[in-house]
Structure 1
Amino acid sequence: MRESAAERHDRLLALVRERGSARVSDLAGQLGVSPVTVRRDVETLAERGLLDRVHGSVSWPENGPAAGASGPGNGPVIGLIAPSATYYFAEVIRGAHEAAARAGARLVLRISDYRPEEDKARAEGLLAAGADGLLIAPAWRGADDQAAYGDWMARLPVPAVLLERTPAPGSPLDDLDRVCSDHRHGVLLAVRHLVGLGHGTPLLVARSDSPTALAVRSGYEDALATLGLSDAPPMIGTSGAEHDPARFEEAMAEVHKAVVSGGVTAALVHNDVDAIHLVQRLAELGVRVPEDLALIAYDDEVAALGDIPLTAVAPPKRQIGRYATELLVSRLGPLQDDDEPGQHLALLPRLRVRSSTTR
């Protein structure tokens, strides 16, 4: 994957910060780019007050990046690390940007592309660029990623807030501020709605490739226990039609079999895209939604846009970004209190009822 200018700037700043000063020609060799490219990068970074430039060399500003680099009103610079800038996290980023603007802060975004091994480098680049605090949505996919790629977050030299990630209880990261959706509550809303419509225990069709997916799976078990439901149909795992078409077709066939056998009349599907694909394929096989199968999607990104608008659980994504940014800004203010306790905020999803559960 080709390196972006922002990523190259991060590496350049990290090199200069480590050495104190460096010649442009040496930086070109270290970065693996032409001297012309480095000179252009240095000019850009010097204009932003992030570097001092003198006679073919650059140096780290004596007092760190210039105050003017902090953006509108000389407010704080907030770094945001997200696994993606699309689908689920687009709204999280939007909420963070709006809150930063209201606080007079500058938000700087870095994307890890769901590569957890890249998170630390993205954070180092943001710190080198003068970030006063970090919002971090680690690119964890499975339960082992925190242990493999997460310890560095507990040693950050600036305040940090985790977004939509719940570390292992008792781990060093459990002491960090965090703002998350309460996905267990969201799943409970969905299951209770389907049961309230007269359906038996609903089927769960879910991915396993993200913290949200894992939380939905765990929340399903909790919801069944809370509502006293038994005889749950076996969960059907899927990797999504776009990632693993063969596995998706197998999952679709399992759902079809469960419905035509008469054992299942309702389902919760994570996520929206998989739910829309599933409805389309089931229709081709004669299974109608909602007449034969009441269906709820989880995420509510595009659920309303299907041929049949899908009832969906909507995590408060925009508010996650807003609350997390406001919390971080409060940690950076001149009146910050070192004795202020850390916060774990859980925001409740909502259920948006549409045609896929109403006959």
Structure 2
Amino acid sequence: MRESAAERHARLLALVRGRGTARVAELADLLGVSAVTARRDVEALAAQGLLDRVHGQVSWPGRRVEPGGASGAGGAAAARRSGEGLVLGLLAPSATYYFAEVIRGAHEAAARAGARLILRISDYRPEEDRARTEGLLSAGAQGVLVAPGWRGPEDRPAYGTWLAELPVPAVLLERRAEPGSPLDALDRVVSDHGHGVLLALRHLLGLGHGTPLLVARGDSPTALAVRAGYAEALATLDLTAPGPVVDSVPVDQDPAGFERAVRALYEAVSAGRVSAALVHNDVDAIEIVRRLAELGVKVPEDLALIAYDDEVAALADTPLTAVAPPKRQVGRHAMELLVERLTEDRAEEAARRHLSLLPRLRVRSSCGARGEGA
């Protein structure tokens, strides 16, 4: 089976971590790839803050030592309290798109605490989550942040119970547990996607549109949370959906399914049932806008549109208004919580926490409103 980019990135990070410093040409030989591929991988990982790159070499990010740091026995105790010297693990389903910012936030918080972060990528294969997390523990991780590679609701019970049995502190990242389940007793930090959907609907209603139609994927926890948030927002606002949720799929994976989604939205607009839509995610939204234009429906003249994720929404031909989950802050707060778990006074352990962070709405051209704002 051909190695994915995520797997190659994980191998590259492991090589640099083991050596401390390596030349890009050396990494290309060790990975069995071209120098161009190795250089591109290094640039991508350095941009995420996972590697330091200087003059053709890459190195594992060093610990920060604050000026005037303590020393001696008192300094050692202070270091333990601050997280200095800790080795922490992070399991993410991807190192790109949505999770690149989550990883960056976690890495920055670990560096501030003086801890070292080890990364594993599951590539959305939940059946491998446990083995990859055990790999983090074998590499010395004393605590872990875990964003399981769940794709649908059936994955949570099938590939999640082991998390509650880990021998080290764990924080669930951008994932919600079943209420009352063993996983529900873990610390977790998540984006409140329901709040994000409500922001989008209120904004479109405030511009004078009828109830917006939801176009959404169904292949990730975020997509499912957006769908659930849509139903909750309709109930909160005492609205009736203008039609069934349109099932979106990536055009490169399922061209026929993508065309069905576009046609469903096109017909709703043409029939006058819909003048606004919320689309998950950015990439699908950009492709949908392009295809609608070919069919004669223009954004925002004929359809006000808001995307969900705000990863590449601003780069569309017509910059897309988008809901922006606080991805970087999720990673940062989760890491800070994990460090606190590992350095707190065990005699008086703090209560477990479920922290929800609120997304923002970034207003651009696609909804027909002017300016960029929150």
Specify the TM-score bucket, using the shorter chain as the normaliser. Answer: 0.7 to 0.9
Is the alpha carbon distance of 1:300 and 1:82 closer, same or farther for their aligned partners in structure 2, counting shifts above 3 Å? same
Once the 2 structures are TM-superposed, how far is the Cα of residue 9 of structure 1 from its aligned partner?
12
- For the 8 Å contact 1:204–1:268, the answer to whether it is kept is yes
Q: Aligned pair 1:222/2:235, yes or no?
A: no
The one-letter amino acid paired with 2:321 is T
Equivalent residue in structure 2 for 1:270, among 280, 301, 322: 280
Q: Aligned pair 1:348/2:358, yes or no?
A: yes
Range with greater deviation from structure 2 (232-241 or 90-99):
232-241
- For the 8 Å contact 2:174–2:190, the answer to whether it is kept is yes
User: Which secondary structure state, in structure 2, belongs to the residue aligned with residue 91 of structure 1?
Assistant: helix
Give the Cα separation in 1 of the matches to 2:241 and 2:250.
Answer: 26
Equivalent residue in structure 2 for 1:147, among 133, 157, 161: 157
Of all paired residues, the percent bearing the same amino acid is: 69
Once the 2 structures are TM-superposed, how far is the Cα of residue 286 of structure 1 from its aligned partner?
1.0
Alignment match, 2:264: 254
Give the Cα separation in 2 of the matches to 1:347 and 1:337.
Answer: 29
Equivalent residue in structure 1 for 2:181, among 153, 171, 175: 171
Once the 2 structures are TM-superposed, how far is the Cα of residue 167 of structure 1 from its aligned partner?
0.8
Once the 2 structures are TM-superposed, how far is the Cα of residue 235 of structure 1 from its aligned partner?
1.0
CA deviations on 1:286-339 (whole Å, 9 max, x unpaired) are 111001000000000000000000000000000000000000000011535553
Q: Aligned pair 1:291/2:301, yes or no?
A: yes
- For the 8 Å contact 1:79–1:126, the answer to whether it is kept is yes
The one-letter amino acid paired with 2:223 is A
Alignment of 1:190-209 (within 5 A): 190-209=200-219
Give the Cα separation in 1 of the matches to 2:13 and 2:266.
Answer: 51
Is the alpha carbon distance of 1:335 and 1:349 closer, same or farther for their aligned partners in structure 2, counting shifts above 3 Å? same
Give the Cα separation in 1 of the matches to 2:320 and 2:12.
Answer: 42
Alignment match, 1:64: none
Once the 2 structures are TM-superposed, how far is the Cα of residue 4 of structure 1 from its aligned partner?
5.7
Give the Cα separation in 2 of the matches to 1:318 and 1:6.
Answer: 20
Give the Cα separation in 1 of the matches to 2:225 and 2:85.
Answer: 36
Is the alpha carbon distance of 1:333 and 1:289 closer, same or farther for their aligned partners in structure 2, counting shifts above 3 Å? same
Alignment of 1:296-307 (within 5 A): 296-307=306-317
Give the Cα separation in 1 of the matches to 2:9 and 2:205.
Answer: 52
CA deviations on 1:110-157 (whole Å, 9 max, x unpaired) are 000000011000111111111000000000000010111111100000
Give the Cα separation in 1 of the matches to 2:326 and 2:136.
Answer: 26
User: Which secondary structure state, in structure 2, belongs to the residue aligned with residue 81 of structure 1?
Assistant: strand
- For the 8 Å contact 1:202–1:267, the answer to whether it is kept is yes
- For the 8 Å contact 2:83–2:343, the answer to whether it is kept is no
Q: Aligned pair 1:314/2:324, yes or no?
A: yes
CA deviations on 1:55-108 (whole Å, 9 max, x unpaired) are xxxxxxxxxxxxxxx9x9951111000000000000000000000000000000
Once the 2 structures are TM-superposed, how far is the Cα of residue 358 of structure 1 from its aligned partner?
1.6
Alignment match, 2:131: 121
Alignment match, 1:281: 291
Once the 2 structures are TM-superposed, how far is the Cα of residue 242 of structure 1 from its aligned partner?
2.2
Alignment match, 1:233: 243
**If the length of structure 1 is used for normalisation, what is the TM-score?**
0.80
Give the Cα separation in 2 of the matches to 1:6 and 1:203.
Answer: 39
User: Which secondary structure state, in structure 1, belongs to the residue aligned with residue 164 of structure 2?
Assistant: helix
Q: Aligned pair 1:357/2:367, yes or no?
A: yes
- Cα RMSD over matched residues? 2.2
Equivalent residue in structure 2 for 1:98, among 88, 108, 119: 108
Alignment match, 2:193: 183
The one-letter amino acid paired with 1:141 is R
- For the 8 Å contact 2:209–2:275, the answer to whether it is kept is yes
- For the 8 Å contact 1:201–1:233, the answer to whether it is kept is no
- For the 8 Å contact 2:110–2:116, the answer to whether it is kept is yes
Give the Cα separation in 2 of the matches to 1:201 and 1:4.
Answer: 45
- For the 8 Å contact 1:330–1:336, the answer to whether it is kept is no
Alignment match, 1:243: 253
CA deviations on 1:264-292 (whole Å, 9 max, x unpaired) are 10000000000000000001111110010
Instruction: Figure out how many residues of one structure are paired with residues of the other and give that number.
Output: 300
User: Which secondary structure state, in structure 1, belongs to the residue aligned with residue 117 of structure 2?
Assistant: strand
Once the 2 structures are TM-superposed, how far is the Cα of residue 162 of structure 1 from its aligned partner?
0.5
Give the Cα separation in 1 of the matches to 2:235 and 2:242.
Answer: 11
Question: Could you say which structure has the larger radius of gyration?
Answer: 1
Alignment match, 1:67: none
**If the length of structure 2 is used for normalisation, what is the TM-score?**
0.77
Give the Cα separation in 2 of the matches to 1:337 and 1:265.
Answer: 59
